[in-house]
Every structure is written in C-alpha cells, then in structure tokens.
C-alpha cells in the first residue's frame, strides 16, 4: 500500500482514493488481458464498450437512477453544460429560472443569457452568499423552460440540503461538487450534470443524467456535439469520448460501492464537516460566515480574522503536508473534502489549524 505524504484540499481536480491509484498503476500496461493499455484501445472495441456499460450500470446502482432516464458521458466540463442546458431545454420558451447561490450559479447564468431571458428566482447576493435563498412568493415563473440550481456552490460553500420545489417546471441541477456524496432523489430532477474531477474521478469527463422527455429539439443552430439527442442515440460514442477518464470513473464508482455506497460517503462527509466547522466556530482566529443550516459539507471556505497571517498559514499548512488550502485570492482560504479525502487527512487539517492558532495566540 502506498503511504500518503500529502493531502490535497484542492477544489478540483481533487484526490483519488489510494486504492484507485494503485489499481490504475497495476493495470496500466495490460488492461483486461488485452495486452494493451486502456490508454491504447479503441472506444469501439468490445472491452471498452463493456467497461462503459459497467460504468453506467454502477452509476445507476449507486444513485438509483430510475428507468426513463439516460446517462451521458460527455466532455467540456460543467462549463459546457452551462450552455448545453439552455440550448437543448429552451424549446420555444423565452426564459429560464435560476437560483443564485454564488460564483458557479453566476457563471451558469452568464451562458444562459446568450440564449434566453434569465429570471433570478432567488438570490443570496445581497447577504454575501451566506445562505440558500428562498424564492419570494410568485418569483418562480410557471412558464419558465426549466429551473436551475447549483446544488453545492463550491466557491461560496453553500449547499442545498434538499432540492428546491419547482412545481411542474423541469428541475436542473449542477451537482459538480456534491454528486455521489449523499443519496439524492433523481426522479425529482429533469436533468443533473456534474464534472468528474471532484468526486467521481479525473478531469475530462462530464456526467449528464436526464429524463427522456428532455431529449427535445435543440435550438436549430446547435452544433451536433452539443445536442443531447445525438449523444443519447449514439450511446455516448458519437465521437471519441474521454476514454481514460471514463475508465477512472468506473474504478471510483466500484470503490464507492466497496466502501459502503452513498450512505458511507454521507456519514464521512457529515463527520468531516462537523470537525472542521466545530474547530472554526470555537476559534478566535478562523471564521466562516455561511448560515449553519446551509453550510456545504464538502467545501469549507474560511478566513483568518487576522488576514495578514494568510500567507503564513498557507506555508504552515504546506509544511504539514496539507496542500491547496488557498482559494483564489479573493476567496481567502478553503478546504475542499471530496469523497476520496480520508478521515486522517481531515484529522491532520484540524490538528494543523489548531496548532497554527496556538502558535499565533
Ligand atoms: C468545478 C465546478 C464547475 C466547473 O467545472 P469545469 O469542469 O471546470 O467546467 C461548475 N460548477 C460547479 C458547482 C463546480 O464545482
């Protein structure tokens, strides 16, 4: 077994489970007895197709994806979904509703505005993205093409504990940073998307789970590569998919199942989040301003009440083998703890933060 020296709290790409890294290493040169690396086989070969089917089956099992939903293995990151969602789902509707919970919701709205009127149904901007905003009475439009929400806004550290009620309007979720971290009710959504480099594997792959009635006529100027129907009809093999990223996702899904499934992931995230927020709330040095009920279990943004110590904090963390704790400069510090973060990484983080505070008391 490999011994980790460094734990990464990066918002993504993030850590992979040790067992998955070892498996990749062990089968890299000769995959499934083909005498070739998984990096070298055709996406139209039998072993690859079989692996793609197994990966989809694994995802369906874990998430309990109902019949009548398709799973697509796409590229372009969550960013491309910011555009593909309106291009494919608008039909002849003129507007879409968006919940605004921070940076990632804003990025999603920027793209949607190219194609339709964006109705901000609820926003937490005026309070500094410190909560999940509740829509005012009548602010959700029954004629909207869809309602979009960011299930876990990775930068502001705000997470929905359950999906918003969209009535009969199709509900769309960006779950890039919390898919597979707990049980969800897929059937309450018309479409869910997530990039893979946080909880599911490595960069390059984007998962889309959509209800079949969302395979509508896309806007006429939509490139075929951006049309969900094209990918659904070709079984995600319209062009060359991100073969290696799909392979890694398959290994991660199998690892999640072995670890006890989404219930086990949920328990770990609850424990990890409790430890870190508990330390922050008891400290005189650290602070997190998100309302307790809406705090992300996955991404914990925090600040030092003495901001001049931030640089030193980061160096102190690095020296303790805890990397990527700096958000981008505007965001201060942030600890991202995805599925592959082991509890001993969380323990090291909490010990290091307590020690830093002692040294600077
Ligand atoms: C990381 C992230 C994105 C961006 O993903 P890309 O793959 O870089 O396009 C979008 N939304 C959320 C919620 C994210 O966490």
Beta bridge partners of 295: 158
pLDDT at 50: 98
Cβ neighbours of residue 163 closer than 8 Å, sequence gap 6 or more: 149, 151, 171, 173, 184, 185, 188, 189
pLDDT at 165: 95
d(CA 191, CA 211): 6
Q: Measuring from each residue's beta carbon to the nearest atom of ligand 1, which residues come in under 6 Å?
A: 12, 77-79, 104, 150, 154, 174, 176-177, 195
Dmax over Cα atoms in the chain, in whole Å? 63
Which of 104, 105, 331 for mutating ligand 1's site (highest number of atoms within 8 Å of CB)? Answer: 104
How distant, in Å, are the alpha carbons of 19, 33, 115 from that of 77? 25, 31, 19
DSSP sequence for 65-129? PPTTEEEEEE-SHHHHHHHHHHHHH-TT--EEEEEE-SHHHHHHHHHHTTTSEEEEEEE-GGGTS
Determine the length of the chain: 361
Helix or strand (DSSP H, E) at 322? strand 322-323
Alpha carbon of 153 to ligand 1 centroid (Å): 9
| Structure letter (DSSP) for residue 161 | S
CB 148 within 8 A of CB 96: yes
Alpha carbon of 319 to ligand 1 centroid (Å): 29
In ligand 1, the atom with minimum distance to the C-alpha of 174 is 13
Alpha carbon of 355 to ligand 1 centroid (Å): 32
Which of 77, 101, 106, 108 for mutating ligand 1's site (highest number of atoms within 8 Å of CB)? Answer: 77
In ligand 1, the atom with minimum distance to the C-alpha of 155 is 15
In ligand 1, the atom with minimum distance to the C-alpha of 197 is 7
Which of 74, 76, 79 for mutating ligand 1's site (highest number of atoms within 8 Å of CB)? Answer: 79
In ligand 1, the atom with minimum distance to the C-alpha of 81 is 9
pLDDT at 238: 98
Alpha carbon of 154 to ligand 1 centroid (Å): 8
DSSP sequence for 282-295? H-SSEE--S-GGGB
Alpha carbon of 207 to ligand 1 centroid (Å): 12
Annotated active-site positions, please? 104, 174, 198
pLDDT at 330: 59
In the sheet that 147-150 helps form, which strands lie side by side, from edge to edge?
69-74, 206-211, 191-195, 171-174, 147-150, 95-100, 117-123
pLDDT tens for each residue of the chain, 361 residues long: 678 899 999 999 999 999 999 999 999 999 999 999 999 999 999 999 999 999 999 999 999 999 999 999 999 999 999 999 999 999 999 999 999 999 999 999 999 999 999 999 999 999 999 999 999 899 999 999 999 999 999 999 999 999 999 999 999 999 999 999 999 999 999 999 999 999 999 999 999 999 999 999 999 999 999 999 999 999 999 999 999 999 999 999 999 999 999 999 999 999 999 999 999 999 999 999 999 999 999 999 999 999 999 999 999 999 999 999 986 655 689 999 999 999 999 999 999 999 999 999 8
Q: Is the pTM of this model over 0.95?
A: yes
Cβ neighbours of residue 329 closer than 8 Å, sequence gap 6 or more: none
pLDDT at 81: 98
pLDDT at 317: 97
pLDDT at 1: 63
CB 300 within 8 A of CB 276: yes
């Amino acid at each position: 077994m490999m011994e980790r020296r460094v734990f990464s709290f990066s918002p993504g790409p993030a850590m992979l489970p040790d067992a998955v890294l070892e498996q990749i290493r062990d089968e890299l040169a000769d995959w499934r007895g083909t005498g070739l690396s998984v990096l070298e086989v055709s996406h139209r070969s039998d072993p690859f197709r079989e692996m793609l089917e197994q990966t989809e089956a694994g995802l369906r099992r874990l998430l309990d994806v109902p019949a009548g939903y398709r799973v697509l293995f796409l590229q372009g990151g969550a960013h491309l979904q910011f555009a593909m969602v309106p291009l494919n789902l608008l039909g002849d509707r003129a507007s879409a509703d968006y919940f605004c919970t921070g940076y990632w919701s804003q990025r999603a709205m920027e793209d949607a505005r190219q194609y339709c009127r964006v109705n901000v149904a609820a926003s937490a901007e005026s309070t500094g993205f410190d909560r999940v905003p509740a829509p005012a009475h009548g602010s959700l439009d029954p004629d909207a093409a869809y309602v979009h929400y960011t299930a876990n806004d990775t930068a502001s550290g705000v997470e929905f504990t359950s999906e918003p009620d969209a009535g009969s309007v199709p509900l769309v979720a960006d779950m890039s940073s919390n898919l597979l971290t707990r049980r969800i009710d897929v059937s309450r959504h018309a479409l869910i998307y997530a990039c893979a480099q946080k909880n599911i594997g490595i960069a390059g792959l984007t998962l889309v789970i959509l209800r079949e009635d969302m395979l509508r006529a896309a806007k006429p100027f939509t490139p075929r590569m951006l049309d969900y129907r094209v990918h659904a009809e070709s079984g995600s093999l319209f062009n060359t998919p991100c073969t290696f990223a799909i392979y890694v996702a398959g290994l991660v899904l199998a690892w999640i199942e072995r670890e006890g499934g989404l219930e086990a992931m949920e328990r770990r995230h609850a424990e990890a989040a409790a430890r870190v927020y508990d330390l922050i709330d008891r400290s005189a040095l650290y602070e997190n301003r998100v309302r307790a009920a809406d705090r992300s279990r996955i991404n914990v943004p925090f600040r030092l009440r003495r901001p001049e110590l931030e640089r030193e904090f980061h160096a102190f963390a690095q020296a303790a083998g805890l990397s990527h704790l700096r958000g981008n400069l505007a965001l201060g510090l942030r600890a991202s703890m995805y599925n592959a973060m082991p509890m001993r990484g969380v323990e090291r983080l909490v010990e290091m933060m307590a020690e830093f505070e002692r040294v600077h008391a």
